[in-house]
A and B are shown apart, each in its own frame.
Chain A
Amino acid sequence: MNIKILFLPILLPFLAGILCILGRKQRIFTEGISLIAAAVNLFIAFVLFGKNLNFNLPWLGFGIDVSFRLYHFSAFIILAAAGFGFLVTLYSLFFMRAKEHLGQFYAYLLISLAFINGAVLADNLVVLLFFWEGLLMSLFGMIAIGNKNAFKTATKAFVINGVTDLCMMIGIVLTAHLAGTLTISKINLPLGLGASLAFILLMIGAISKAGSMPFHSWIPDAATDAPLPFMALIPAALEKLLGIYFLARISLDMFQLTHESWLSVLLMTVGVITILLAVMMALVQKDYKRLLSYHAISQVGYMILGIGTAIPVGIIGGLFHMINHAMYKSCLFLTGGSVEKQAGTTNLEKLGGLGIKMPVTLICFVITAASISGVWPFNGFFSKELVYDAALERGLLFYLCAIAGSFFTAASFLKLGHAAFFGKASSENKQVKEAPLGMLVPMIVIAAGCIIFGVFNSLPLKHLIEPILGAKLNGHHFAGMPGNIKLIIISVIVLVAAIVNHIFGVLMKGSGLKALDYIRYAPILSGIYNKAEKRFFDPYEIGLKVVNLVSALSWKIDRGVDWVYEKFSVKTVYALSMQIRNLQNGNYSLYLGLSIVSAALVFLLFFAGL
């Protein structure tokens, strides 16, 4: 096969995206182009899957080559991205129908696909960085075309990701310095002091792309401000795929991360904190999309936890959880989109009783919610069990935190489902109908995928995930029911506890929405929640405050400096100038005398310099 085919998944969506922006304003045209491009991209991804290709073209010198590497892992990510890209495009045809900025939306969508393909294929850190930053651009554009607040949110996303990308850039420089090469597949560094620093910097880039704490705060804002298909595609699927892909690459290939390393503990800690804090925030949300977006953050914690354990079972679990999460979370967002499209709002207080009106949406929601909560036999159950297994092996505390996260996840989805689909229908929701077929198809496909990946979990595990680790597995297989019965029993107990808790909450407060309010208003937690809702813990906001303080301070300094520049220095120069001019008084005898004296000084200098 011609090696140039590697350029296709990058160039094709990119050019299609450019065409969408440049093309005529007619809707059919842009929609047609983007659907075809997404479909062709999916086809190419199928063709590429299972192949091993390497491409290298010297470019800028200094080891900066255009080099691509297609192997099992990258082909898998490209395939997944292409699949989600196609489905979300299909969904958007109906969802975005009446929205503005249609051309831009599809353009950014396709360009994002192109950049993700590029970033995944890249085998050179600089090329990777190029696509990585390109993704930032399309991310910014895509959020910015949302509602009125979107531009502010887009700026926030841009700043947060920009800062972390800067860290990554430094990390790349450091890595290249330590390894002596920029080619990813040739780097294999032991974790010394410098390498640890490089690892942390690269890790910051990766987990920030995946949306982990503390670089998460733009995601909930984007959920309310940006167009919904964006949420289903970018933060829920593509960025997780890319971020976790890169995290796996740096932990598995580029650095020799072992479970003895303190970096492993660091990663796991980040994962656990992300799980707990994000799910706690998710619990109390009163907006469909916002709640989902917190879960999108929370679930990243499982993946980071899984990869951070640095033992095969954890890594397999993390990666499996990555693809599972992409599936159920994008499907959940899509159901959110249907609800928004049909009911006109995503505010849970105004929703209710939609289950009868939208049965297909309800079924898809139930399947995916069960999946995310880890109910057998859906896919989330299997990946979570793998992660639990690994977490328990590394430390009881990690396991307990993970299982607690699971409990809260289940509780919040019970609340969400109860509030949105059951209970009394509010007066505005009387005429709500089922979503159009084009929106249902993607949801059904993904929901079906969730079941297939769960029931026949050996299919993805054997063919997609396990080959990534290859020889490191030592012939172990993780398909089928998890081996550790105790863990399963604990998981079931947790789920049952969540249901009991929900019933208890409903009985106490009287409605599904308020089932978890007792947590929200618990003595200590309420204060924390209040502050969190005022974005007290948002690093971006803290950063803004610090920046404001610094700028106020520098304003003062600036005035002082300005005084030095404008008044002091100018006055000094003018005074000096007048002195020199006074010396030039028209008397040539004085001039000559001064010249002779200075000539004598020059002679002295000469003799001194001798």
Chain B
Amino acid sequence: MSHLLILVPFCCVIILNLPIRKVMRSLAPVAAIVLSLLQVLMVLCFDCHFWQTKFGIIGTFFKFNLVADKLAILMLLCIGIVSFVTAVIGRALIKERKERFDFASLILISLSALNGIVLVRDIFSLYVFLEIAAVISFILIAFKTNILAYEGAFKYIIFSAVASIFLLCGTALLLITSGSTDFSQINASLTAQAFSPSIVLAVGLFLVGLFIKAGVVPFHWWLPDAYSEAPSPVSVYLAGIVTKAVGVYALIRVAVSVFGMHKSICAVFLLLGAITIVAGAIAAITQSDFKRMLSYSSISQVGYIILALGSGTSLGVAAACFHLFNHAIFKSLLFVNAAAVEQQTGTRDMDRVCGLSQRMPVTGLTSVLGSLSCAGIPPLAGFWSKLLIVIALLSTGHFVYAAVAVLASIITLGYFLVMQRKVFFGKISEEFINIKEAGLGIVVPEIILAAITVGVGIFFPVILNRFILPLGG
């Protein structure tokens, strides 16, 4: 009964906009938090009765083609967690009631859009939901209406529009060559015939569109601007889940269920993945803006996912999905840390702040956990997914790419250590001697996310066989 995942948040927004606005305005943030938590809970008992039930009226009225497989369930979980975190810290960071209402409503809409992206089985519907998510992103980035945010949003709009056009061209050409827009039918028709130039053109256009949306390196230009200039809760949301669902998940889904792991697709994935990893990590190392550094790190981690996908095996796909999940958790965590630092010190410049860990112990500790997980230090979650990626690459004989992955993880560790040294360690500067730990609305999400990272890392052997390996299909 996955219809409800799209319908309920949307209906909730409509109800919240009913004329009794006074009540609704205060209800909206709570509704966002509750709905995202509900989604997490539903996903956690994913083998329960609910998913198989066909609700009578809704089922007959709405004939949506939605499928919730293992990969989609994992994504739904990520969406639930990150939306929950975003809603909580949004409630904590946005002071004005009207803005708070708008923000919560947008989170609710995007919940339904992202669930749609995850569940659809039609490339045009995929495009529709991608566009909804993109439009929400534009609005959210420009939420604070300052010039830099506008600049980031405008660049994102241009790139997103071009990407959409590539996607639509791909869709049209696929429609010609396979006569349908449905995943399974396209897949059937693509596997039935050899890859002719027209199909390559179609697949290539589609993939390039998704590359732009995912921020893979030669197409990543909009990403640091958009992430770093967005308001803090929005950065968490964008980096944690929106671009991951919009770009990376769509890439995985399309590569696995539509195009199949063709040799040349894998080659492109491998090459772009390696370039993305290295370029993102290298660009991150000299950044002085906290969020911009995290943005480049995000790019670099997306590279890992693409690289894993490029190995073309079911293990590689499983590793990619696992890293996607881990990345959603630890990158959200790091952006929440950045939000806490920005909230308390009023700056994102890593050269200005120093020694914050004395005054903000929870933020300091959780950021260490997040960084180490991102850099792939055992036994945190990030280590296991990177290990799986390297194993997947080695088992298909891509030794050079495996070496690149391992070496880049050293650079990752490098820039995170630089960040930690600049921001959290050392002696606190006079300017910030009086700052306090961020409020409960930020500290609680930090602790939850850090606990997930550590927990997944420690219970990895349990999780591996039960959840991760089935992802490969």
Contact = CB atoms under 8 A, between A and B. Distances in A.
B201 to A, nearest CB: 8
Residue among A574, A578, A605 with the most chain B CB within 10 A?
A605
A591 B160 CA distance: 13
Interface in B232-264: 263-264
A592 interface: yes
Contacts of A573: 282, 285, 411, 414
Given A602-B208, A606-B264, A588 B282 contact: no
A5 interface: no
Interface stretch (B51-59, B267-275, B442-450): B267-275
A594 B285 contact: no
Nearest to A609: B264
Interface residues of B, number: 36
Nearest to A603: B204
Contact of B221 (A576, A594, A599, A602): A594
B200 interface: yes
Contact of B159 (A574, A578, A592, A603): A592
A606 B283 contact: no
A551 interface: no
A321 B45 CA distance: 74
Nearest to B155: A588
Interface string B217-229: 0110110100000
B286 interface: yes
Contact of B267 (A577, A584, A595, A605): A605
A598 B219 contact: yes
Contacts of B414: 573
B85 interface: no
A115 to B, nearest CB: 33
B158 interface: yes
B279 interface: yes
B162 interface: yes
Given A602-B204, A602-B208, A602-B268, A588 B218 contact: no
Contacts of B203: 606
Contact of A578 (B166, B212, B286): B286
A534 interface: no
Contact of A606 (B200, B286, B411): B200
B461 interface: no
Given A595-B159, A605-B271, A584 B222 contact: no
A599 B201 CA distance: 11
Contacts of B158: 588, 592
B267 A609 contact: yes
B116 to A, nearest CB: 27
A285 B263 CA distance: 78
Given A602-B207, A606-B204, A607-B200, A592 B286 contact: no
In this complex, the interface size class of chain A, counting residues with CB under 8 Å from chain B, is 20 to 34
A368 B154 CA distance: 100
Contacts of B346: none
Contacts of B264: 605-606, 608-610
- Chain A interface mostly: helix
Given A588-B155, A594-B221, A602 B272 contact: yes
B197 interface: yes
Nearest to A588: B155
B282 A595 contact: no
A581 B221 contact: no
B195 interface: yes
A528 to B, nearest CB: 53
A503 B407 CA distance: 76
Nearest to B195: A610
Contact of A577 (B218, B224, B283): B283
Given A591-B159, A602-B208, A609 B283 contact: no
A580 B208 contact: no
Contacts of A597: 218
Given A573-B285, A598-B219, A605-B268, A580 B159 contact: no
B268 A598 contact: no
B285 A595 contact: no
A591 B219 CA distance: 8
A595 B222 CA distance: 11
Nearest to A608: B264
A36 B261 CA distance: 73
A600 to B, nearest CB: 9
B279 to A, nearest CB: 6
B306 to A, nearest CB: 12
A610 B197 CA distance: 8
Residue among B159, B218, B265, B279 with the most chain A CB within 10 A?
B218
Contacts of B218: 594-595, 597-599, 601
A602 to B, nearest CB: 6
A572 to B, nearest CB: 9
A278 B271 CA distance: 67
Nearest to A578: B286
Contacts of B285: 573-574, 577
A599 B204 CA distance: 9
Given A595-B218, A607-B197, A581 B283 contact: yes
B275 to A, nearest CB: 9
A592 B272 contact: no
Contacts of B284: 577
A347 B268 CA distance: 81
Contacts of B268: 602, 605-606, 609
A595 B212 contact: yes
Given A588-B155, A592-B158, A577 B282 contact: yes
Nearest to B224: A584
Contacts of B166: 599
Given A607-B197, A609-B264, A595 B221 contact: yes
A577 B280 CA distance: 9
A25 B241 CA distance: 63
Residue among A578, A591, A597 with the most chain B CB within 10 A?
A591
A581 to B, nearest CB: 6
Contacts of A595: 159, 162, 212, 218-219, 221
Contacts of B221: 584, 588, 591-592, 594-595
Nearest to A599: B208
A609 B207 CA distance: 15
A228 B263 CA distance: 74
A244 B272 CA distance: 64
Contacts of B212: 595
B27 to A, nearest CB: 40
Nearest to B197: A607
Nearest to B286: A577
B219 A599 contact: yes
Contacts of B283: 577, 580-581, 584
Interface string A311-353: 0000000000000000000000000000000000000000000
B309 to A, nearest CB: 15
Contacts of B282: 573, 576-577, 580
Contacts of A577: 282-286
A590 B209 CA distance: 18
B225 to A, nearest CB: 8
A211 to B, nearest CB: 42
A447 B264 CA distance: 86
A573 B283 CA distance: 9
A604 to B, nearest CB: 10
Nearest to A572: B282
Given A602-B204, A607-B200, 9 more contacts: A577-B283, A584-B224, A588-B155, A588-B158, A588-B222, A599-B211, A599-B218, A606-B204, A609-B263
Interface of A: 573-574, 576-578, 580-581, 584, 588, 591-592, 594-595, 597-599, 601-603, 605-610
23 contacts: A574-B285, A577-B282, A577-B284, A577-B285, A580-B279, A580-B283, A581-B283, A581-B286, A591-B155, A592-B221, A595-B159, A597-B218, A598-B219, A602-B204, A602-B268, A602-B272, A603-B200, A603-B201, A605-B271, A606-B204, A610-B195, A610-B197, A610-B264
**Nearest 6 interchain pairs by C-beta:** A609-B264, A598-B218, A591-B221, A577-B286, A580-B283, A599-B208
